Amino acid sequence: MERLEIKVEGMTCGGCVTSVQNALTQRDGVSTATADLDSGIVAVEFDPAVIQQPGLQEAIIDAGFDVAA
């Protein structure tokens, strides 16, 4: 397993945090996703043999949020 922190833009409430976490954990290969509203960072543990960073970012974007460059 690998751990990656991704800066997410657009999270403004607890519902946003839940949406981001759910979008990520529904992807194959993701074991956990923990978003922090204050920092705007989501920590993701995933299997790099199944999913890579672009797939994680795509899940966040598909949920209606932006990924900071």
Tell me what pLDDT residue 69 has.
Answer: 73
Tell me what pLDDT residue 30 has.
Answer: 98
Domain boundaries, the chain: 2-67
Tell me what pLDDT residue 16 has.
Answer: 97
Within 8 A by CB and 6+ apart from 58, the residues are: none
For Cα atoms 27, 31, 32, give the angle at the middle one, nearest 5 degrees.
Answer: 100
Tell me what pLDDT residue 66 has.
Answer: 96
| Other beta carbons within 10 Å of 50 | 11
Cα distance between residue 8 and residue 29, in whole Å: 20
Domain 2-67 class?
alpha beta
Within 8 A by CB and 6+ apart from 60, the residues are: 6, 8, 20, 23, 24, 42, 66, 67
Q: Which residues in the chain show pLDDT less than 50?
A: none
Per-residue pLDDT of 6-15, as tens digits, reads 999 999 999 9
Mean pLDDT of all residues belonging to the chain: 97
- Both tokens of 53, joined, read 């960073």
